[in-house]
């Protein structure tokens, strides 16, 4: 893992983004914001799943009118997602949202963008400024549109990254003019390679914190790989201060996968059981898939500690994984050997493996609660969050070549 890149820090309500703060996990509600009860319920589900911030769309006045009630009931800071209508941004700011997502490119009048910036500056509300592959090419000005399309013709990926940087430069000039620097940047594409290139280039050019995401990634079954390829690569390279995984599905799944990604990379402390299991092969002599599924289900419903549990199929890798887990089993012909914190405990028959493993998990959890044991995840994991931020960077741009 590369140490995290130092950035400026912005504050969205109770959540700090960048400047060494832990990578913030965010998601977005999928329902209508003006359906207040349903929106609050969805915000709460996302927060319970682990979201640090939740974004809501405010396309209509009735959506911003719903914000005070939603904000009052939300356990996490709320971000207003604004497109096209600057009035929605102004209403959301007055309602007290913690952050605004704004694409200056789709707000027609520059004066209106400046008014939004001034209102945010007055209330210390950060703005996420984004460029998105789907909407980056100019639509209103035909000449400019033709020029931008032409710039993408030869080498689409490189051309798109250049265009993203050029647009961000253009937008940020407005923010510079207003001396407003509570900015978070984003540059999303459906192609993970472009996402990696774009954020790498942006991180070399600006010291603003970055919001990572792969846009329109699709359903979790396909979008998961697309998203993790890009976000995992960037985070491992020290780039990224807040993330959103976006799926065409219940957004709780975005939060679950985002949380797991951050836990896997040591960027977030694990709070729930971690299950390690072998893939099974021709050496297997028990029904391992069923055992793994049953253990996973039971752990999720019964154990609230970050206990590391291993379920292994045979002696090849079983003992090694068992010794590194809190509670583990490795199977042999019709039986399994249980380990607890590296020590062999007992041998059980195949039909008793699930119950015996869970009994050991519960017993260990009780010992942890009494302060008599420490979990592997508490001693192995890198510290939560990020390295010390050091001093706050003072420059807005880094002196690197534009391209
Ligand atoms: S632990 Fe044993 S059964 Fe499982 S994949 Fe490895 S060799 Fe195969």
Please give the domain boundaries of the chain with CATH numbers for all domains.
Answer: 9-264 (3.20.20.20), 274-380 (3.30.413.10)
What pLDDT, on a 0 to 100 scale, did the predictor assign at position 392?
32
Say yes or no: CB of residue 30 within 6 Å of ligand 1.
no
* Tens-level pLDDT at each residue, the chain (403 residues): 899 999 999 999 999 999 999 999 999 999 999 999 999 999 999 999 999 999 999 999 999 999 999 999 999 999 999 988 889 999 999 999 999 999 887 777 889 999 999 999 999 999 999 888 877 777 777 888 888 888 888 888 899 999 999 999 999 999 999 999 999 999 999 999 999 999 999 999 999 999 999 988 889 999 999 999 999 999 999 999 999 999 999 999 999 999 999 999 999 999 999 999 999 999 998 999 999 999 999 999 999 899 999 999 988 887 888 888 999 999 988 899 999 999 999 999 999 999 999 999 999 999 999 999 999 887 655 444 433 333 333 334 443 333 2
From ligand 1's centre to the CA of 311, what distance in Å? 10
This prediction has a pTM of: 0.88
Q: What is the pLDDT of residue 294?
A: 96
Pocket test of ligand 1: the residue of 276, 282, 283 to mutate, having most ligand atoms within 8 Å of its CB, is 283
CA of 162 to the centre of ligand 1 (A): 47
* β pairing state of 343-349 and 335-340: antiparallel
Is residue 357 within 6 Å of ligand 1 at its C-beta?
no
The H-assigned helical ranges of 250-331 are 251-264, 288-302, 318-324
d(CA 17, CA 5): 12
Instruction: Output phi, psi for 377, to 5 deg.
Output: -65, -25
Q: Is the distance from the beta carbon of residue 280 to the nearest atom of ligand 1 less than 6 Å?
A: yes
CB-side exposure of 186: number of CA atoms within 13 Å?
26
Query: Does the Cβ of 397 fall within 6 Å of ligand 1?
Result: no
Nearest protein CA to atom 7 of ligand 1, as residue: 316
Cβ of 318 below 6 Å from ligand 1: yes
**CB 283 less than 6 A from any atom of ligand 1:** yes
Per the CB < 8 A criterion, the answer to whether 399 and 280 are in contact is no
Helix, strand, or coil (residue 300): helix
How much helix, strand and coil, in percent to the nearest 5, is found in the chain? 45, 20, 35
* CA distance readout (Å), 342 to 127, 327, 339, 363, 368: 49, 8, 6, 15, 16
Mutation probe of ligand 1 site: the residue of 288, 318, 321, 322 with most atoms within 8 A of C-beta: 318
| Pocket flag, ligand 1, residue 279 (CB < 6 Å) | yes
Q: Does the CB atom of residue 278 touch ligand 1 within 6 A? A: yes
- Note the pLDDT of residue 380: 58
Element (H, E) at 370: none
For a ligand 1 pocket test, name from 287, 313, 322, 332 the mutation site with the most ligand atoms within 8 angstroms of its C-beta.
313
């Amino acid at each position: 893992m590369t140490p995290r890149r130092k950035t400026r820090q912005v504050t969205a309500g109770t959540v700090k983004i960048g400047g060494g703060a832990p990578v913030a996990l965010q998601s977005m509600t999928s329902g209508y914001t003006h359906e207040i009860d349903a929106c609050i319920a969805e915000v709460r589900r996302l927060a319970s799943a682990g979201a640090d911030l939740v974004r809501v769309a405010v396309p209509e006045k009735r959506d911003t009118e719903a914000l005070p009630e939603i904000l009052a009931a939300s356990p996490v800071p709320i971000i207003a997602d604004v497109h096209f209508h600057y009035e929605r941004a102004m209403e959301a700011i007055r309602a007290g949202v913690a952050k605004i997502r704004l694409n200056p490119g789709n707000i027609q009048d520059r004066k209106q963008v400046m008014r939004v910036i001034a209102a945010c500056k007055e209330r210390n509300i950060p703005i996420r400024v984004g460029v998105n592959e789907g909407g980056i090419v100019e639509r209103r000005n035909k000449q400019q549109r033709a020029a931008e399309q032409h710039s993408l013709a030869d080498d689409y990926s490189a051309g798109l990254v250049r265009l993203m940087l050029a647009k961000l430069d253009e937008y940020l000039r407005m923010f510079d003019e207003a001396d407003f620097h509570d900015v978070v940047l984003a540059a999303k594409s459906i192609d993970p390679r472009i996402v990696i290139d774009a954020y790498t280039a942006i991180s070399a050019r600006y010291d603003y914190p970055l919001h990572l995401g792969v846009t329109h990634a699709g359903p979790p079954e396909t979008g998961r790989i697309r998203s993790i390829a890009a976000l995992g690569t960037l985070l491992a390279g020290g780039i990224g201060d807040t993330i959103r995984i976006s799926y065409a599905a219940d957004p709780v799944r975005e939060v679950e996968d985002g949380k797991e990604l951050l836990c896997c990379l040591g960027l977030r402390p694990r709070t729930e059981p971690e299950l390690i299991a072998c893939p099974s092969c021709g050496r297997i002599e028990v029904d391992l898939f069923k055992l793994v599924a049953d253990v996973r289900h039971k752990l999720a419903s019964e154990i609230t500690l970050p206990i590391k549990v291993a379920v292994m199929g045979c002696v090849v890798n079983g003992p090694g994984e068992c010794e590194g887990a809190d509670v583990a089993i490795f199977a042999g012909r019709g039986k399994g050997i249980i380990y607890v914190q590296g020590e062999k405990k007992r041998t059980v028959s195949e039909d008793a493996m699930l119950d015996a493993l869970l009994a050991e998990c519960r017993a260990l959890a009780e010992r942890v609660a009494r302060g008599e044991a420490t979990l592997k995840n508490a001693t192995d994991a890198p510290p939560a969050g990020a390295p010390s931020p050091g001093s706050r960077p003072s420059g807005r741009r880094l002196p690197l070549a534009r391209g």
